[in-house]
Amino acid sequence: MGKKANERRGDIKREDIGMKHKKKNFSKWFSEVIAKTELADLRYNVKGFLVHMPWSVLTMKNMYRFYEDELERKGHQPAWFPALIPESNFKMEAEHVEGFAPELFWITHSGDEKLTEKMALRPTSETAMYVMYAKWIRSWRDLPLKIYQSCQVWRCDTKATRPFIRGREFHWIEGHDVFATLKEADAQVREDMDTTEKVMHQIYGIPFLQLQRPEWDKFPGAVHTYVADTLMPDGKILQQPSTHLLGQNFSKGFRIKFKDKDENEKYPWQTCYGPAIWRMLASIIAMHGDDKGLRFPYEIAPVQVIIIPITGLGEEKRVAKKCKEITEKLDKGKIRTRIDLSENTPGWKFNQWEMKGVPIRIEIGPKELKTRSVTLVRRDTGRKQKVLEKNLLKTVERAGKDMSKKLRTEAEGFLRKNIREARDLKELGEQLKKGGFVKIDFCSIDIEGLPCAEKIKDRFHAQIRGKRFDQAEKPKGKCIICGKPATCVVYVGREY
């Protein structure tokens, strides 16, 4: 597609793209980045469902790879379970079905025939997987059982939908584990948190707070819920991977039993873990992007290096040949590389690939041919450097890793800067206006703390996110709502 055609599409000029206002109008920036970088098309005629275009799918495939490799390294095995779940399965754990009932998509007919039992599209897979676990688990020798699946889930969310943030169909991974003892299940919860740290934070560059959710806001059917909460540029909180200690609630409901070494029949202990790749992409777009568009961490970028030929002086054929040689060299080094051989001007190409978040640009023209070098440009700094061909592979890898580290460090600084404290209700209101997390002394995250949480929600339209799980924080005084002695420090904020 030539330059004029692209101009007609309206995606050539950055001022037309409207991405000079991330800090001023994040909502507009986010929507336009998704459209202009062709991550998704929102025009599908079912609300809450979007068409994922190649640029987002390629990115998420890379994201899945890191997560799946880490899960398998820690003993999880992949499986695929059906998307349809009979209504009777949901009724086997009462609290679970009550929690998800308002969000279920039901299938009632096959052709013109009414089904004898209606089926739900899975909102999550406990009720699909655990009926099979009851058939598979018989003895202590069958434990632990650690299985994950990468799949889609469907929930008829009544809140406003937003691509990659909140939708009615989203893509994720869910791990479902079974153990002989509570101690092993507790250890798995911590392992899940470690996985979030190693993948979402260290590779995707998204920092987070590890919080234990209040009892009134835990996963339906769980004993405890732990989440990784992160921030978006507008100061709103986005929940990322959650892990749940299910205790024996589901094993009793689904009649999952095993015989221990003494032939005693027991109910096992369970956990589940839900890293949503779809929603993590939203954090990557929002946290790392700038007024030029996307900035992908090197490890997950669909294209890690874009090569731009700089033609002229009758050297077009030699330049094109050299570009292909360099591409082959980088491909052999396992670096995802593409050449832009379109008829667009070099300036247009620079803008386009910067907008799409490619970490490294290589320019090759007649000057580079003479010196057997290339010009390398980093997406994050815009700095140019001459690199000899013989040093290119190591230089690209070093620059890519350094860029990922820089993006991660910037995101960490943003999170730290947006954690504040409040000692009374007036200060809480003032701090919440600034966005981010606000720490307060609170009476309890057990159910007796719910009335205080409701007062915060009604007055400030904010939620108690929970208390830190990864570090102990002692309250200094009384609950700022009811005045009773505080038992914990909790984080308050406004969520998507």
Here the CATH number for the domain that contains residue 67 is 3.30.930.10
Q: Are residues 283 and 320 in the same domain?
A: no
Does residue 479 share a domain with residue 342?
no
- What is the side-by-side strand order in the sheet with 113-121? 84-86, 113-121, 106-110
pLDDT at 159: 75
Beta strands in 155-295 (DSSP E): 169-179, 209-212, 224-231, 237-247, 258-259, 265-266, 269-274
Task: Give the pLDDT confidence score for residue 261 in this predicted structure.
Answer: 96
- In this structure, the answer to whether residues 431 and 323 fall within a common structural domain is no
Mean pLDDT of the chain: 94
> What pLDDT does residue 19 have?
60
Q: Are residues 83 and 219 in the same domain?
A: yes
447, burial (CB in 10 Å: exposed 0-12, middle 13-18, buried 19+):
exposed
**51-60, 97-106, 315-324, 366-375: least confident range:** 97-106
Return the pLDDT at 14. 43
| Cα-based distances in Å from 26 to 104, 223, 233 | 31, 37, 7
For residue 8, being part of any structural domain is answered with no
Euclidean distance between CA atoms 53 and 41, whole angstroms: 7
Structural domains in the chain (count): 3
Based on the fold, state whether residues 184 and 262 are members of the same structural domain: yes
Greater confidence, 14 or 200? 200
- Predicted local confidence at residue 26, as pLDDT: 95
CB count in 10 Å sphere of residue 257: 14
- pLDDT band at residue 11, thresholds of 50, 70 and 90? very low
Distance of CA 465 to the CA centre of its chain: 18
- For residues 84 and 86, what is the distance between their CA atoms, to the nearest angstrom? 7
Residue 483 in domain? yes
DSSP state letter for 202? T
Domain enclosing residue 256, as ranges: 36-288
Band of pLDDT at residue 17, cut at 50, 70 and 90? very low
* Mean pLDDT, rounded, for 41-52: 93
Regarding beta strands 169-179 and 145-154, do their DSSP bridges make them parallel or antiparallel, or are they unpaired? antiparallel
Bridge partners, 212 (sequence order): 226, 467
Q: How confident is the model at residue 381 (pLDDT cuts 50, 70, 90)?
A: very high
Measured in whole angstroms, how far is the alpha carbon of residue 297 from the centre of its chain? 14
Closest CA to 348 of 30, 4, 49, 63: 4
**Cβ 161 vs Cβ 167: under 8 Å:** yes
User: For residues 295 and 379, is the Cβ–Cβ distance under 8 A?
Assistant: yes
SS3 178: strand
Strand partners, 239: 229
Q: Which residues contact 220 (CB under 8 A, 6 or more apart)?
A: 95, 96, 97, 98, 99, 100
Q: What is the pLDDT of residue 256?
A: 98
Lowest average pLDDT, out of 17-26, 261-270, 321-330, goes to 17-26
What digits encode the pLDDT tens for the residues 210-252?
Answer: 999 999 999 999 999 999 999 999 999 999 999 999 999 999 9
Residue 295 lies in a domain: no
In a domain, 394, yes or no: yes
Residue at 97: amino acid letter: V
Summarised one tens digit per residue, pLDDT across range 255-310 is: 999 999 999 999 999 999 999 999 999 999 999 999 999 999 999 999 999 999 99
- Do residues 150 and 218 both lie within one domain? yes
Do 62 and 158 belong together in one domain? Answer: yes
Res 2 pLDDT > 60: no
Does 164 have pLDDT greater than 50? yes
More confident residue, 189 or 3: 189
Assigned domain for 73 exists:
yes
Residues of the chain with pLDDT > 70, as a percent, come to 96
Q: What is the pLDDT of residue 6?
A: 40
Q: What percent of the chain has a predicted confidence (pLDDT) above 90?
A: 89
- Given pLDDT bands bounded at 50, 70 and 90, which one contains residue 20? low
Same domain, 75 and 169: yes
The structure's pTM equals 0.93
| Distance between CA atoms of residues 360 and 66, nearest Å | 21
Are residues 118 and 161 located together in one domain of the fold? yes
Tell whether 377 and 455 lie within a shared domain: no
Does the structure show a pLDDT above 90 at 415? yes
- What number is the average pLDDT over the span 121-129? 95
* Residue 4 in this model has a pLDDT that exceeds 50: no
Query: Looking at the structure, do residues 213 and 82 belong to the same domain, yes or no?
Result: yes
